[in-house]
Amino acid sequence: MTPESAHLDLAPDVQLALRQGQPVVALESTIISHGMPYPDNVATARRVEAEVRRHGAVPATIAVVEGRLTAGLSEAQIEALGRAGPAVAKVSRRDLPYIVATGRTGATTVAATMIIAAMAGIRVFATGGIGGVHRGATQTFDISADLQELARTSVAVVCAGAKSILDLGLTLEYLETQGVPVLGYQTDQLPAFFTRDSGFGVDHRLESAADIAAMLKVKWDLGLDGGVVVANPIPEAHAMNRSDIDRAIEQALADARARGVTGKETTPFLLERVNAITGGSSLAANIELVLNNARLASAIAVALAAPGSMG
């Protein structure tokens, strides 16, 4: 047992799948506690897990439970996170040692989920959107730890791009500097979470899950550690009008400034305000894009698990 694994618990189905080389998809838990209101959060978490299973992989929703790094939550644990909501600690890399040492429970961000997934041996992770460089970061230096984690931790993150509340241009510049490939799944354009096109391009376009899996294998075979952003546009039927969502984001940003919201509270606040301003339309879009990402992540995990794929 390594020092890392001494703090890690795997659900029985996750442990069995990993031992047998079967496909596993990591899922984060801040989307449960901080990303959506109850009971939509719990219902969505269960739907996402079911979608992963339906497409041939084993879901591993990740959190810290009473000081234990946990890959694969029970229904009761998901329910507890959903009911507690924002009262649950939001855990990124810097917070993990404290939460574990004090035996607390916390919902993991993209960064912390990547860390725990890598410890467990899970290579593919589905989420809604990654964090990034916040608007106004030239003054505030508010940059999500997700970006640095992508530079160092070898997990592919399937997402609908970066959250559109961010400065997407600076986010792409940061990822380029850190050597993180941004792949577009059947698109040349970086999706912007609620919309299919941000106005920015991706680094490379790939047409299939098998092509993405092949590139991941080559990257890691070459010893090029670090993650990959797999940008998967929200389905056309559920995409929001770009001008409508831009107006809602501008209003939410103004509200955040007026209330002095900063740091790790910024993203949950903005998502909640955008949902309120759009009359719930953004929440519906959020749910659909997460399900869509779970489907693609499952297909990539299945391709990676194919005989001979990972050498």
* SS3 letters across 265-305: HHHHHHHHHHHHHCCCHHHHHHHHHHHHHHHHHHHHHHHHH
- Which residues are part of the catalytic machinery? 28, 163
Q: Which CATH superfamily is domain 5-305 in?
A: Indigoidine synthase domain (3.40.1790.10)
The whole-number average pLDDT for the span 122-146 is 90
Q: How confident is the model at residue 267 (pLDDT cuts 50, 70, 90)?
A: confident
pLDDT for 201 equals 97
pLDDT-based confidence at residue 11 (cuts at 50, 70, 90): very high
Give the pLDDT confidence score for residue 310 in this predicted structure. 55
Confidence class for position 1, pLDDT limits 50, 70, 90 = low
> DSSP of 21-63, one letter per residue?
T--EEEE-SHHHHTSS-TTHHHHHHHHHHHHHHHTT-EEEEEE
Reported pTM: 0.93
311 confidence band (pLDDT: 50, 70, 90): very low
Query: What are the tokens at 102?
Result: 């004090």
Average pLDDT, the chain: 94
Angle made by CA atoms 65, 97, 129, in degrees to the nearest 5: 70
Instruction: Write phi, then psi, for 172 (nearest 5 degrees).
Output: -65, -40
- The residue ranges of every structural domain in the chain are 5-305
Q: What is the mean pLDDT of residues 117-141?
A: 92
Asked if residue 56 has pLDDT above 60, the reply is yes
pLDDT band at 22 (very low <50, low <70, confident <90, very high): very high
